Each structure stands twice: as structure tokens, then as C-alpha cells.
Structure 1
């Protein structure tokens, strides 16, 4: 945040001072870098979904969904009840069978 016609001021806590090997009142030199690496998290395919995909021969249909596949699997992995999981898997299978372009669950 700019202060007194100076470019910026960085507020630093005790842990940051210790890590930067500096103390109160001293001038610290540092570099700020942006981390451009994305951490892609893989979500496992629920066993029930895998079985249904094989039964309906829709495995390649799910694999062809690049970005939305990750969101779908993420959602399915956070579902707590089996009833809700089955309901959403049925909905997903129906959408894959109908070759819908914008597959959405719930």
C-alpha cells in the first residue's frame, strides 16, 4: 500500500521477520515472484460410476469431457450419502447417453 509518496509499504509479522532474517527497524530486501504453476488435483472416479459407464459403454464419453469431467468427479467425491450419489450418477449417465454438450450435475 503506498504511503508518504513512497511506492509501497509491506506489513510484516514476527514469523515473516524471522524467516527473512531481519528485525524490527531494519530494512529488508526481498523479491516477490508469482507462482504460475497450477496444481491439478486428480479426483478418483467412484466405483459405482465406473461400473455404470462400463455397463452402458460410456467410458469414452466421460473421458472426452475435459474441463467439466474434473468438476463432475470433484462433486461426486464430496457427496456423502449413497442415495444422492446414485441419483447424480443416473443423471450423468442419462446426459451422456443423450450426448448432451453441457453436462451438469446436480
Structure 2
């Protein structure tokens, strides 16, 4: 076999391998390609997924709004409680002072 024949045979083998690879790739893509019915189903599922994600995002936003409102109400209630407790302390102090005053007034008689 001469050098020219060797190059020609090698070129033919490489070209044959290229053609076989291309045919195998085409066949795999042809077989693996989804049918039109499957594409319709995939589109429907994608739309449902998108809608579900939108609903989830709305629910999360609503939960955050409710949490903020409840935290605001809790802060207000705590402020009212603190004010009431301070008023109660002052009232107890006044009652104690009045008791002392009454006891002293009664003791003078």
C-alpha cells in the first residue's frame, strides 16, 4: 500500500465515521423529540406551574402584610399595657399615701 492509497483509505474511513455519527445523531433526535400532544401537555403544565408560583408569591405577600399588621397591633397593645401598669403603680402609690395619711390623722385624735 502506497502512501497515497493509505491517505485515501484513512480519509474514506473518517468520512464514513462522520456520516454514521451524523445519522446516529439525527436518529436520536428524531426518536427523542416529543410528540405534539406531549408539547401541548408540557405547555399546560408550564402554565399551571407559573400560575401556582404567582399564587404562592401573592400568599407570601399577604402573609407578610398580615404579620406587619399583627406586629403593629401587638406593639400598640404592649404600649397600652405599659401605660396601664404605670397608672396602676401610681394608683397603688397614691392609695398607700392616703392610707398613711388616714392612719396618721386617726392616730392624732
**TM-score class, shorter:** under 0.3
Q: TM-score, normalised by structure 2?
A: 0.21
Question: Whose Rg is larger?
Answer: 2
Higher relative contact order (CA 8 A, sep 6+): 1
The structure with more helix, counted as a fraction of residues: 2
